[in-house]
Amino acid sequence: MGAGAAYFLLMRNNVDVAYRSTMVCAGLVCGIACFHYFKMTHVYQGSGGQFPTALRYIDWLFTTPLMLIKFPLLLRLGDKGKKFFVQLVTLDIGMIVCAFIAATSPVASTEWWGFFLVACVLELLIVATLYTGLGSAINSAPAPIAKALNTMRLFILIGWAIYPIGFLMAYGGYGEVREIFYNVADVINKVGFGLAAYWGIEALSHSSKQAA
């Protein structure tokens, strides 16, 4: 995560000014996650192996909105982008809060299942917004940016689906495996998401230079 943060922030000055905020967001996502992982490791070791669930969800509460804001930033939607960002972040925060309540409830209890299912519905609404609400804007974007955004949507559709699957591991008594599962998914999703955005910006810059 630390390497990802450094890379994205260093690459910021290599891209067009219009897309530098996207690179800053990518760097912040990895940097915040790096800080929280150091913190989680310290708490985990100090508590004798008890995983700090709250810290993981706090991390997601900060980093996932920064991931979602890349969609309107890359599309350069202006005021219209604010509307989509607010919509996405509202759904995102609701999803994380419900998932946290589920994660801290007794496994297989009514609260565990209920809040988990609500979180899943909110995640599906995020996906629906990205594919329907932003679909036409993505299709109208320059080809390299559209390709990057389509890849990023797949990270949300498939990459984020890993988390509900991991959550259900607790039902089978595989709590420790679940945490490893989450760790791997976090690295793939956060770093991969940022790379998809960067490669799209770079491809657009390259094609613009060729056209010139």
Q: Report the C-alpha gap between 53 and 55 in whole angstroms.
A: 5
Where are the domains positioned within the chain? 2-211
pLDDT tens digits for range 27-73: 999 999 999 999 999 998 888 878 899 999 999 999 999 999 999 99
How confident is the model over 171-182, as pLDDT tens digits?
888 888 889 999
Q: Is the pLDDT of residue 210 over 90?
A: no
Residues 160-171: tens digit of each pLDDT: 999 999 999 988
Note the pLDDT of residue 207.
80
CATH 1.20.1070.10 assigned to domain 2-211? The reply is yes
Average pLDDT over residues 98-113: 97
